A and B are shown apart, each in its own frame.
Chain A
Amino acid sequence: MRFIKTILLGLCAFGLSASLAIAAPDDEAFVQQKANEALAVLSDATLDQTTKSQRFSRFVDEVTDVRRVARFVLGKYARGADPQKVTRFTEVFRQYASGVYESQLGKFGGETLSVTGSQDRKPGDSVVTSVISGGQLDDPIDVKWRIRSKNGVKKVLDVQVFGIWLALQQRNEITAVIANHNGDIEAAITILNNKIANQEFGDPGGNATSQ
């Protein structure tokens, strides 16, 4: 009898540890589904570049909380800023970020993403870990996703690739630009507009001329 009890306790303990390992199963499923959709759009050989860019831009709008990320990127300059300037910054940032993500993810073709785990930061805020492998990659790439859940809606806040959180990286750059212009958000808007006009996001096809 004691033996069966021990076995049952062991199974319970195993079940508990297994459930702790998957901290945010819904978020893991969300990342897996959305990453598959993104890779499908970007590797669709039947789409021309313009159509691909439009679809990817819509996809970025759908899965990321652009307004929240834009305010995060503005850092301390978001507080007390002219709401119209913040709105204009958010729009231009949306276009810039979409271009950056497309240029980076566009280099993938034939790779697959596998979710490997997740960790809750606080309720509604988790980090999902994943690995991109196969295709043209010699070594797998670790990609981490910061997911926010509120009222049943999930959005991506940040993505870490090669150890760099992209939104954090963008905040450090944007706030440096604003600091260099006496705290004027307009300077960041102008620079981002120039980037978008010149399409300076690297080569989506991955055939960049190296510097």
Chain B
Amino acid sequence: MARMIFRIMVLMSVLIASTACTTRGATRQDDPLYSWNKAVFNFNKAADDVVVAPVARGYRAVVPEPGRDGVRNVLNNLRSPVTFGNDILQGKFGRASKTLARFSINSTLGLAGLFDIAKRAGINGHTEDMGQTLATYGINRGPYIMLPILGPSNFRDATGFVLDFGLEPMTYMRFKGRTAVLYGRFGVNGVSVREASLDTIKTLRDNSVDEYASLKSAYEQLRANAISDGKVNVDDLPDFDDFEDEE
């Protein structure tokens, strides 16, 4: 799986480089890969309209809410080692101990993560990934990039996405049918995430005046919020008086 992702990333780097060369005139200061990004955005939107969203709606229609919650819980629980590793790498040992406690409780009392018993006990979950870890190390996010199927990202987060496979236990496990399990998990996770975001994405589309800009802005704000663990640094906020001509 990691090898496949690496190949995709290499292929994309070549494509981006060629796109950047051929459409230099269309690049923008805050979005140097605009031409590539807009093309992939249109492709992703078409794929979402035709395949992903209908499957997610069907999943919602067929599987009742408790069942969908259970699937989401299992997937979140499987993600715990990656979150735990990144908690440690960021030096957030308190959050790491919560992740470990949640994983232990939900894997056992929660029947392999099907039920979020830890949350009922007051231990709320969170997620961390290597993109966030690299950010806490001071690595610049690099250009915004729209990835086929995977959606919005940037060079730091895309790199983190690949590196996270190093913290994923499945990467090191060998058993018959492993590939099918990996692809199955990827597919179920995609459908589960899309189902959970059906209403949010509809709202985003309804309210936006430019869907591409809306998604880019929302992604960048959400990532900044995740990196700061929801804390606001007031010095980073924009000044509303900058564009005033008169009082």
Contacts and interface: CB of A to CB of B under 8 A. Distances in A.
Interface of A: 65, 68-69, 71-72, 74-76, 78-79, 100, 103-104, 119-121, 127, 129, 142, 144, 146, 148, 157-158, 160, 162-165, 168-169, 172-177, 179-180, 188, 191-192, 195, 200-202, 208-211
B225 to A, nearest CB: 3
A164 B243 contact: no
Given A129-B232, A210-B198, A211-B201, 6 more contacts: A163-B221, A169-B221, A176-B210, A177-B213, A202-B207, A211-B205
B176 interface: no
A176 to B, nearest CB: 3
B127 to A, nearest CB: 13
A209 B57 CA distance: 10
A208 B232 contact: no
A121 B206 contact: no
B57 A163 contact: no
Report the 6 A-B pairs with minimum CB-CB distance, sorted nearest first: A163-B225, A176-B213, A210-B198, A172-B217, A121-B234, A211-B202
Contact of A211 (B53, B222, B226, B241): B53
Given A68-B244, A160-B232, A208-B202, A173 B210 contact: yes
Interface string B33-66: 0000000000000000000010001001000000
A69 B240 contact: yes
B67 to A, nearest CB: 16
A210 B209 contact: no
A173 B214 contact: yes
19 contacts: A72-B242, A78-B243, A103-B203, A104-B203, A119-B232, A146-B237, A162-B222, A163-B224, A163-B225, A164-B225, A168-B217, A173-B210, A176-B210, A177-B209, A195-B209, A200-B207, A208-B206, A210-B199, A211-B202
B193 to A, nearest CB: 14
Contacts of A129: 232
B216 interface: yes
SS class of chain B's interface: helix, strand, loop or mixed? helix
B243 A74 contact: yes
B234 A119 contact: yes
A51 to B, nearest CB: 23
Contacts of A192: 209
B235 A200 contact: no
B206 A201 contact: yes
Contacts of B234: 119-121, 127
A207 B209 CA distance: 22
Q: Which size bracket describes the interface of B in this complex? A: 35 or more
Contacts of B199: 208, 210
A15 to B, nearest CB: 24
Contacts of B230: 142, 163
Contacts of A79: 243, 245
B170 interface: no
B222 A163 contact: yes
B206 A71 contact: no
Contacts of B203: 103-104, 202, 208
A64 to B, nearest CB: 11
A142, A146, A176 — which one has the most chain B CB atoms within 10 A of its CB?
A176
Contact of B235 (A78, A121, A176, A211): A121
B30 to A, nearest CB: 9
A47 to B, nearest CB: 23
Interface in B215-231: 216-218, 221-222, 224-226, 230
B222 A210 contact: no
Contacts of A68: 240-241, 244
Nearest to B225: A163
B221 A165 contact: yes
B171 interface: no
B27 interface: no
A210 B232 contact: no
B99 to A, nearest CB: 18
A141 B208 CA distance: 22
A173 B201 contact: no
